[in-house]
Each structure stands twice: as structure tokens, then as C-alpha cells.
Copies of this chain bind each other. A is one copy, B any other.
Amino acid sequence: MNTSRLEAFSDGVIAIIITIMVLELKVPRGETFGALLPLIPVFLSYVLSFIYVGIYWNNHHHMLHACEQVTGPILWANLYFLFWLSLFPVTTAWVGENHAVAAPSALYGAVLLMAAIAYWILQQVIIGSQGEGSVLRRAVGSDWKGKISPALYVAGIAAAFWFPWLAQALYLLVAVLWFIPDRRIENTLVQHKA
């Protein structure tokens, strides 16, 4: 069983998640530019979540390129990852409507953390299925981003109770870390195929 249908299904779910987040951007009430003001925090949290989902889509895309065969545990680890991604729209909307408030900021970070853990589990399940000499293990290497991100999310969740803006700055920092291109998987694959 190859990865094509797994990719197609994941793409479908991720495409829908990224698009329904925009449904929280309600049509402004009023016909002036002033009517847009209350939408600004909702818009900003949409932008941040869009970037997060985009990063996950890119990384997922690369990771599945390093996966030759799909097993039952990979299917379920992938669904578990999609489950946590599917909660992004609701936590994004909550934090968008209540910016700089403890509970929404903490919950937003908790869902980010769970998605990161689920992504890590999926990565480990694929590595496990590849046995020794796993291409993905070499591609991932020391995985410092994968290790530092959960720590930053936990710091963000803790910070949310005192300084919600700091929490959001930390979440943004993780996004920036991942956004900076990382050619590990690409390079390892190129070497592997050469």
C-alpha cells in the first residue's frame, strides 16, 4: 500500500481545516471601515493559524515523501494528528474573540502542543516501520526544532495565565522557527536516491 491515498485524504482534511478557519471571519456588521476594527484580532489569529497549518502541511508533505509504505499504525497515527489539527479552527476563533485572555490563550497553546506531539508520534511510527537504517530517521537527525517546540508551547501555556500576549509571542516564535526553511529531509532524500 503506497502513500498516495493517505496523502490525498490528509490534503483534503487539511484543505478544509485551513478554509473553515476563515468562516470565523464573519461578515462585518456595518458598511464602514470602522466595522472592520472588531475583526482585527480575529484576522490576526486566523493569520497565525493559517501559517501553522501551512507549516504542518509542508512538513507532512516532506515526511510522507520519506515514507515508502503505509501500515495500519501509520494510518491511525495520521488520523490522530489530523484530529488535533481539526481543533485549530475552534481554538483560533476563541482566542480571536478573546485576545489577551488567559483561558483561550492557554487552550490555543494546549492544542498546538497536542498537534506537535501527534506529529512527533506519527514521525516515530513511520521511523519504526522502516526498521534500522530508516531514511526518515536520518532525515530528521537531531530534530532540535521538534524538541524545543513542545518546551516553548508549555512555556506559552504557563505564560498565558499571567501574560497572555507573551504566550502568543511564544507561539509566534515557534511558527517563525519552523518557517525558516529546513532542508534536512530534502537533502537526505536526494542523497538517498543518488
Chain A residues near B (Cβ < 8 Å)? 1, 5, 7-9, 11-20, 22-28, 31-33, 35-36, 47, 50, 54, 57-58, 61, 65, 72-73, 75-76, 79, 82-83, 86-87, 89-90, 93-94, 97-98, 101-104, 107, 179, 181, 183, 186
Contacts and interface: CB of A to CB of B under 8 A. Distances in A.
Contacts of A86: 18-19, 22, 50
Contacts of A79: 50, 54, 57-58
10 contacts: A8-B11, A12-B14, A12-B15, A15-B15, A16-B20, A24-B27, A25-B90, A31-B103, A54-B76, A58-B76
Q: Count copies of this chain in the complex.
A: 4
B50 A94 contact: no
Contacts of A26: 90
Nearest to A90: B25
Contacts of A73: 181
A159 to B, nearest CB: 16
B16 A90 contact: no
